[in-house]
Structure 1
Amino acid sequence: MQSLLRNAVAAAMLIAVGAASGVASAETTLRASHQFPGGQGDPRDEMVQMIARDVGAANVGLKIQVFPSSSLYKANEQWGAITRGQLDMSAFPLDYASGRVPQFSATLMPGLVRNYDHAQRLNKSDFMKEIKQIIEDKGAVVIADAWLAGGFASKEHCITSPDTIKGQVIRAAGPAFEQMLSAAGASISSMPSSEIYTAMQTGVLDATNTSNDSFVSYRLYEQVKCLTAPGDNALWFMYEPVIMSKKVFDKLTPEQRDAIMAAGSKAEAYFVGESRKGEQKMIDTFKKANVEVVSMSKDDFDAWMEVAKASSYKNFAEKVKGGDELLKKALAVQ
């Protein structure tokens, strides 16, 4: 009887140990969503794929499954899903959430970022410290910074000075650009970049502005007559970081969090290099498709900035909580 009892106890202990080791070695799968085409060379997709590969290789019991092309969440649904903890990770144009967090429209303010070197300096500034604190307060964590330059394209004619936009229906990525373009005489139709092609194809849009990478990834060269590339006078720069749900991030082990941040740092370095190549790739692709390519002159840029200061900058400073101080912090970065 005692022998049977000892065997039963031993068996129970083995089952308990086995169950515990099973829990310890169980792999957690995180879901990453973004709107950009997958497997086609878009550096935003590759950024997330790199993070997934490196986190998997770190052997910390973590796997990241990537859902590109809005296959899991639509573009404008991702911020809410991230902050509620329903979605784990996203490559996300932050200004898309400015309807909920108005301060985020500062990350797509006309002329605020002049070039990629300026963007890198801005990342280390008090301006970005405040933006990232707001991101965290709202329920997300930045895993990797990413800034993209962009331009304009039209089915009608080249967009250079403010008077060239009059009468055109244009998509702008966020409130600040919408306010500036409206002040210059354009009509606005709001949508994420993933919907621009169809809107142009069906006559909803005459023109658009978006990032260099989106111009190529979404094949917008098939729909337009003229592209205005950023050149030396970039009016359009957008912050599109890789973010993660703070609820999810905080529940991970220290080793898992370290693996994610290390992978994010590596992906960020990759993106800095690729984003600088993006403009030439865009220009070459559009020229090959027989699209006229121009860029804004310094006079064009200055004229747009006069419109922006009287519209989007003024509105942001007056109507967004802490907006004036936030803009001052950003403009202090030379």
Structure 2
Amino acid sequence: MKFTTTVAAAALASWAGLAQAQDTLRLSHQWSEGDVRHQVAQMVADEVAAADVGLEIQIFPSQSLFKAREQYKPLSRGQVDMIVFPLSYAGGLRNAYNLTLMPGLVKNHDHAARLNDSAFMGEIEKIMAEDDVMVLVHGYLAGGFAGTEKCITAPEDVQGLQTRAAGKAFEQMLAGAGASIASMSSAEIYNAMQTGVLDAANTSSSSFVSYRIYEQVACFTPAGEYALWFMYQPLMMNKSVYDGLSDEQRAALDAAAEKAEAFYLEEAKKQDGEARDTFAENGVEIAEMTQEQFDAWRAIAQETSYAAFLEGSPEGQKLLDLALEVE
């Protein structure tokens, strides 16, 4: 009898341990704890903890769990519960995701927010669902242009310049405008400009500031009323894991995600403003892109980046049309 009781107690302890493990979600991302994308994840974790529904979110920043570009498959397979992830990184797995880093599809942050609530995003989320993935927090981050000797606002401004672009679709568009393309990471822009290898660059607002590009350029075109570079970087979750939570836990997670999404949008706008201010304070000329210039870039993108996307995606025209329909 004592043996049976001991076995039962051990089984109960084992079950309790398993239940506790299921109430701890693991969240992976590639950035440092000072980054806005970590702050979004932390806000969700803190809000869920404060709701006291028996759910904890453990965050693994700085690629400590998975490498940056290798997080989508583990999420789909349930090897990690949540990720903050630039969706275009998975464009090799799902060609449709390449539309979330496509020049000219997003004009500004308010337009991005409307895209997040559109039929276009609904179709993207249907594709995610096929991989057992869902979005908790939508978010786009923006970027701009900088030139070592002149401003970059219209397509003709890059003609003949050695230019770095953030993403293959942007390289295709810039090449279509007559630029020579130099592929490199954001971390290499500063030295490339300093040594005369690079004349212009396109990257995110945060990278422009963190890598001190303002020390090497004459003119900066920030993300403002019109910008070309927007990258969709949501907080996603394994759908089966989400569905397996209690009603109270899902409600707490949904409430936390809603609050974090509003924070994400405001912080994204703030990053653009801080980049503009930082460059201006360092004596760099600030240029603004007009709607006419934006439309000229989009026309080139349609002939280059969009055309290349459609070659690999029979159903892509529908998605592209849905994105372009959002005003």
State the identity %.
49
Q: Which position in structure 1 is the counterpart of 2:153?
A: 160
Q: Which position in structure 2 is the counterpart of 1:122?
A: 115
Distance 1:163 1:71, change over 3 A: farther
Report if the CA contact (8 A) 1:200-1:206 is conserved.
Answer: no
Pairing 1:184-199 to 2, within 5 Å after superposition: 184-190=177-183, 195-199=185-189
Match 1:310 to one of 294, 303, 319: 303
Whole-angstrom CA distance in 2 between matches of 1:116 and 1:209: 18
Aligned-pair CA distance for 1:79? 2.5
For residues 14-67 of structure 1, the C-alpha deviation after alignment (integer angstroms, 9 at most, x for no partner) is 55555544544457443323233322xx32221111112122333344332323
Whole-angstrom CA distance in 2 between matches of 1:155 and 1:74: 33
Q: Which position in structure 1 is the counterpart of 2:72?
A: 79
Whole-angstrom CA distance in 1 between matches of 2:60 and 2:211: 17
Unaligned stretches of 5+ in structure 2?
A: none
State which drifts further: 270-279 or 57-66.
57-66
Aligned length, in residue pairs: 324
For residues 68-104 of structure 1, the C-alpha deviation after alignment (integer angstroms, 9 at most, x for no partner) is 3444433322223333333332221212222222111
Whole-angstrom CA distance in 2 between matches of 1:174 and 1:299: 23
Note if 1:102 corresponds to 2:95.
yes
Unaligned stretches of 5+ in structure 1?
A: none
State which drifts further: 317-326 or 129-138.
317-326
Whole-angstrom CA distance in 1 between matches of 2:220 and 2:97: 27
Aligned-pair CA distance for 1:267? 0.4
Distance 1:98 1:14, change over 3 A: closer
- With normalisation by structure 2, the TM-score equals 0.85
Q: Which position in structure 2 is the counterpart of 1:38?
A: 33
Q: Which position in structure 2 is the counterpart of 1:236?
A: 229
Whole-angstrom CA distance in 2 between matches of 1:243 and 1:178: 28
Report if the CA contact (8 A) 2:190-2:212 is conserved.
Answer: no
Q: Which position in structure 1 is the counterpart of 2:48?
A: 55
Report if the CA contact (8 A) 1:149-1:238 is conserved.
Answer: yes
Distance 1:12 1:38, change over 3 A: closer
Please give the root-mean-square deviation of Cα atoms over the aligned residues, in Å: 2.9
Q: Which position in structure 1 is the counterpart of 2:253?
A: 260
Aligned-pair CA distance for 1:281? 1.3
Aligned-pair CA distance for 1:253? 4.4
Note if 1:200 corresponds to 2:183.
no
Whole-angstrom CA distance in 2 between matches of 1:164 and 1:328: 28
- With normalisation by structure 1, the TM-score equals 0.83
Aligned-pair CA distance for 1:250? 4.7
Q: Which position in structure 1 is the counterpart of 2:61?
A: 68
Aligned-pair CA distance for 1:249? 3.7
Q: Secondary structure at the match of 2:71?
A: helix
